[in-house]
Structure 1
Amino acid sequence: MRVSDIDDSRAATNALLAAAREAQWRPHAVARFLGQATERSARQAARRPRALAELTALHCLLLPLTRNRQDRRWVTASWTLGALHLGLLERRDRLSAADALTLIRGNLPATSVGSSRFSGVLAIASDLADGHLARRQSTDSPFGDYADTFADAAFWTWLALRHEPSSTVRAAAIAAWAAPVVAVTAVALVRGAMPERPRPALLRPAAVMQGVVALRHLLRR
């Protein structure tokens, strides 16, 4: 069976990673990995035309809110990543309201809203809202889970690096959001399989950092 025919996204990704790892990530193995991953992503997107249309419409609505070419590239990159990972919707064929809120949060840095004093508060509110909607509507999926992780990493790292004057807080932000994404990616490449994302039951350090960064940004003149 070809990897592109495997229905479970995690199993398909693990199969691709394992094959590349066995080939020691040589150039031909990397090229094969990228080619097969892109082919599978295209197949999965074609099987979900409604989700692809919703994803495209959402990002088209965000484009007028951008300020320059760099912001438009951010939105384009967000669309590309979303389209390549529609297979993570699994049995769903459309985006949920929670998914839309997550994608909007991830694109806040590309809009004028991102630089406002209230952007951190809005990001926290959207994070709480999309989690509530996902649980209430039973729309949890690997797509929403990974989109939430990357949206948080993108927005909070950007906000800290762009607007936080304290080098200590900036370093803490990188440790809270960017470092885990890099670490999970490195583990996946070394092991040849995607690791489980840790889910602390009581206290999430990143959640505490959200409050710190958002409050400092809100109160800063």
Structure 2
Amino acid sequence: MESVADLADSRAVTDVLLGDLRAAHLTPAAVVRFLGRAARRSLRQAARRPRALVELTALHGVLYALADGRRPGRRWVTTSWTLAALHLGMLEHRNRLTTADALTLLRGNLPALPGGAGRASGLLAIGLDLADGHLARNQGAVSPFGEYADTFADAAYWTWFTLRHEPSRTVRAAAVAAWTLPIVAVTGLALHRGTMPERPRPVLLRPAATLQAVVALRHLTRR
């Protein structure tokens, strides 16, 4: 049986790690072992992609310099860099970031930037989302890294934006559920099955996209 160090495909590695975790019945020791193996491979994959790591660090360096001094500010940018650096193996055969990747990471870091809470910030986030998706598809630059970065950028930004700006409890509850429940559900299913499930098809994401527009327009037009 191949070890995780021998496997190049990030999904195959994830399935091996999840399978071992499930076989060990999710014991605390197994969870610690799972996290350690995943972290070691992540560090090796980042070291094998020095150009992508430099690009990632440069982008976040600029964002860090521009970050608002208030919360979430630079802590948000630091967290973004850490998570992205640990998932560079999901670039698969590529050794650099694309423009689409950069736009996705920029969208995810809007809460840390001056003006990130401005009236038009929700529409800016939607525009960046449409732009990075268009670029990725038309440039043939779709990768697991970009897909999952897109998912987590949406969840992070829109959850923050909604909790900060939306006064309606009903809209807040619906919006947060739309962005966080799919992640929780996929994670739970992965642990239960011992394999990583497929990402939800676009049709299942339309309610979240609709809520993005609703929350953004309500914030833009609110006095």
Normalised TM-score (structure 1):
0.96
One-letter amino acid of the counterpart of residue 147, structure 2: D
Distance 1:70 1:211 in 2: 23
One-letter amino acid of the counterpart of residue 64, structure 1: A
> Per-residue deviation at 1:55?
0.4
One-letter amino acid of the counterpart of residue 6, structure 2: D
Match of 1:104 among 83, 87, 106: 106
Distance 1:31 1:90 in 2: 25
Cα distance, 1:203–1:81 mapped onto 2, change above 3 Å: closer
> Per-residue deviation at 1:73?
1.2
Greater CA deviation, 79-88 or 191-200? 191-200
Counterpart for residue 10 of structure 1: 11
Distance 1:115 1:32 in 2: 40
What's the secondary structure of 2:200's corresponding residue?
coil
Cα distance, 1:44–1:154 mapped onto 2, change above 3 Å: same
Cα distance, 1:202–1:39 mapped onto 2, change above 3 Å: closer
Kindly indicate whether the alpha-carbon contact (under 8 Å) linking 1:10 and 1:194 is maintained by their aligned counterparts in 2: yes
Greater CA deviation, 148-157 or 174-183? 174-183
Cα distance, 1:59–1:219 mapped onto 2, change above 3 Å: same
Which sections of structure 1, spanning at least 5 residues, go unmatched? none
Kindly indicate whether the alpha-carbon contact (under 8 Å) linking 1:4 and 1:39 is maintained by their aligned counterparts in 2: no
Kindly indicate whether the alpha-carbon contact (under 8 Å) linking 2:74 and 2:112 is maintained by their aligned counterparts in 1: yes
Matched, 1:209 2:211: yes
Moved over 3 A (4+): 200-203
> Per-residue deviation at 1:201?
4.2
Greater CA deviation, 33-42 or 58-67? 58-67
Counterpart for residue 85 of structure 1: 87
Counterpart for residue 52 of structure 1: 53
> Per-residue deviation at 1:192?
1.1
Counterpart for residue 42 of structure 1: 43
Distance 1:114 1:167 in 2: 22
Counterpart for residue 19 of structure 1: 20
Distance 1:131 1:81 in 2: 21
Matched, 1:199 2:201: yes
> Per-residue deviation at 1:69?
5.9
One-letter amino acid of the counterpart of residue 116, structure 1: G
Kindly indicate whether the alpha-carbon contact (under 8 Å) linking 1:4 and 1:36 is maintained by their aligned counterparts in 2: no
Counterpart for residue 188 of structure 2: 186
Counterpart for residue 137 of structure 2: 135
One-letter amino acid of the counterpart of residue 178, structure 2: A
> Per-residue deviation at 1:200?
3.3
One-letter amino acid of the counterpart of residue 46, structure 2: A
Distance 1:191 1:202 in 2: 21
Q: CA deviation digits over 1:91-138, x for unaligned, max 9?
A: 110000000000000011111222100110000000010011111111
One-letter amino acid of the counterpart of residue 215, structure 1: L
For these two proteins, the number of residue pairs brought into alignment is: 221
Kindly indicate whether the alpha-carbon contact (under 8 Å) linking 1:45 and 1:52 is maintained by their aligned counterparts in 2: yes
Distance 1:187 1:202 in 2: 16
> Per-residue deviation at 1:60?
0.5
One-letter amino acid of the counterpart of residue 38, structure 2: A
> Per-residue deviation at 1:68?
3.2
Percent of aligned pairs with the same residue? 68
Normalised TM-score (structure 2):
0.96
Distance 2:205 2:62 in 1: 35
